[in-house]
């Protein structure tokens, strides 16, 4: 598939999930409605925050046939495409590990505050992975800026301390690392299977089976590999990402005149997925933190039904104006996901009063309203501004 076939509802739904991610990430004060937040690891259930991240991973999967398909259409060799997939995965893993560690900086033992450490690290990330407009005249400048970014990050890794004897760790891949592993599997499967559903579906079921076996502790013999390949072994993230990829493949099989069939297939799959999720609840609780198969199936089902409705409204009935404000965030999702963190660290370091709505004396409705404004400002206003100045990360 190529961008000529691209479906507008994909970008709008990806923008929606990203704005919701910014909302729930900001909504961490006590007293807010439980259904908006994350549930505890041992709790059998889920809130809005427990769907948003898998919803975004689902959308990552929907984009895979376009990104890889474009490279195939341009005539790139298989080895070159594999190289691109590996580089992109490694980039996501590196940024994910850096972000994961930034939350654990101990200023006393590191020598600089958590806020300063994080700002230097994020600045390095943007210098390295910025989507520069390369010309013959500025090639040396781009190389210099990327080297400067590395020169900012490496010392931060060296001086990092999470405690007296706790240095920089890569045992937690973080959110972007989880996406990276899921993307790696989905991209390689698509490169092998192409638009062939008969090859793709068994691959998806294989990772669902891995998730089930992992939660039954039948894969404990692979424990030595878990610190590095645990996300793949667990099967959960690859299953979610590839489920999104499956929906794009289903759409590619339907003509524009047969939209009703596409809508019915996707919505039916979503309902079936939710039913299967609740069926597996007999053996696995619904838990994001535990990454259970029941949770993954229910989240996939919600994503499928929601996308089917958006597809019907936006691409079939051509009513996209209402959601156009979400498209910039969907088209520049990585940048919009990272930039708000820098704003947080600047606000905390300078003790700026912008997060006043998080005062524990305020009623929960004000906290929620403040987080809504924050998410819209960052996910919509900032996205539009960055699109206009062409500021975008590229992995």
User: Does some domain include residue 353?
Assistant: yes
Contact between 371 and 114 (Cβ < 8 Å)? no
* Phi and psi angles of residue 223, each rounded to the nearest 5 degrees, phi first: -55, -40
What is the per-residue pLDDT across 329-366, written as a single tens digit (0 to 9) for each?
888 888 999 999 999 999 999 999 888 888 777 788 88
Is 257 contained in some domain? yes
Domain range enclosing 376: 3-68+229-388
The larger pLDDT score, comparing residue 257 to residue 126, is at 126
pTM: 0.91
pLDDT given for residue 162 in this prediction:
86
The answer to which of 5-9, 15-19, 116-120 has the lowest mean pLDDT is 5-9
- Residue pair 61/242 in contact by the 8 Å Cβ criterion: yes
Question: What are 30-62's pLDDT values in tens digits?
Answer: 777 778 878 888 888 898 889 999 999 999 999
Q: What is the pLDDT of residues 302-330, one digit of tens each?
A: 999 999 999 888 888 888 778 788 888 88
CB 235 within 8 A of CB 208: yes
Task: State pLDDT tens for residues 140-198.
Answer: 999 999 999 999 999 999 999 988 778 887 768 889 999 999 999 999 999 999 889 99
pLDDT value at position 255? Answer: 61
Spatial CB neighbours of 44, under 8 Å, sequence gap ≥ 6: 281, 285, 286, 287
Q: Is 18 exposed, middle or buried (0-12, 13-18, 19+ CB in 10 A)?
A: buried
**Residue 20: what pLDDT?**
92
Domain count, the chain: 1
**Does 337 fall in a domain?**
yes
Domain presence at residue 214: no
Is pLDDT of 1 > 80?
no
State the Cα–Cα distance between residues 80 and 65, nearest whole angstrom. 16
Taking 60 as the threshold, does the pLDDT of residue 2 lie above it? no
Residue predicted with more confidence, 260 or 126: 126
Residue 10 covered by a domain:
yes
On whether residue 76 sits in a domain, the answer given is no
């Amino acid at each position: 598939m190529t961008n000529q076939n691209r479906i507008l509802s994909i970008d709008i739904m990806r923008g929606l999930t990203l704005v919701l991610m910014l909302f729930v990430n900001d909504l961490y004060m006590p007293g807010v409605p439980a259904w908006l937040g994350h549930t505890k690891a041992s709790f059998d259930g889920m809130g809005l925050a427990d769907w948003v991240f898998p919803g975004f991973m689902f959308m990552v999967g929907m984009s895979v046939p376009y990104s890889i398909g474009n490279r195939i259409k341009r005539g790139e060799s298989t080895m070159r495409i594999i190289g691109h997939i590996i580089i992109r995965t490694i980039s996501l893993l590196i940024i994910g590990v850096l972000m994961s560690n930034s939350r654990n900086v101990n200023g006393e033992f590191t020598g600089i505050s958590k806020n300063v450490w994080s700002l230097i690290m994020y600045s390095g990330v943007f210098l390295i992975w910025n989507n520069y407009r390369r010309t013959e005249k500025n090639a040396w400048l781009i190389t210099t800026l990327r080297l400067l970014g590395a020169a900012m990050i490496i010392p931060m890794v060296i001086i990092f301390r999470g405690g007296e004897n706790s240095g920089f760790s890569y045992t937690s891949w973080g959110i972007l690392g989880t996406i990276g592993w899921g993307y790696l599997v989905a991209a390689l499967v698509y490169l092998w299977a192409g638009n062939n559903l008969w090859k793709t579906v068994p691959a998806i079921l294989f990772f669902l089976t891995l998730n089930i076996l992992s939660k039954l502790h039948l894969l404990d013999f692979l424990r030595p590999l878990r610190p590095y390949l645990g996300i793949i072994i667990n099967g959960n993230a690859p299953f979610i990402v590839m489920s999104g990829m499956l929906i794009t493949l289903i759409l590619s099989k339907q003509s524009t005149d047969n939209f009703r069939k596409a809508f019915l297939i996707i919505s039916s799959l979503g309902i079936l997925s939710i039913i299967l999720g609740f069926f597996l609840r007999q053996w696995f609780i619904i838990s994001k933190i535990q990454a259970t198969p029941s949770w993954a199936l229910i989240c996939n089902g919600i994503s499928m039904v929601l996308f089917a409705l958006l597809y019907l409204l936006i691409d079939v009935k051509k009513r996209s104006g209402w959601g156009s404000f979400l498209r910039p965030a969907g088209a520049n999702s990585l940048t919009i996901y990272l930039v708000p963190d820098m704003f947080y660290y600047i606000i905390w370091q300078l003790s700026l009063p912008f997060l006043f709505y998080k005062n524990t004396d305020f009623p929960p409705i004000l906290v929620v309203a403040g987080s809504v404004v924050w998410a819209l400002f960052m996910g919509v206003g900032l996205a539009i501004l960055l699109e206009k100045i062409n500021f975008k990360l590229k992995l």
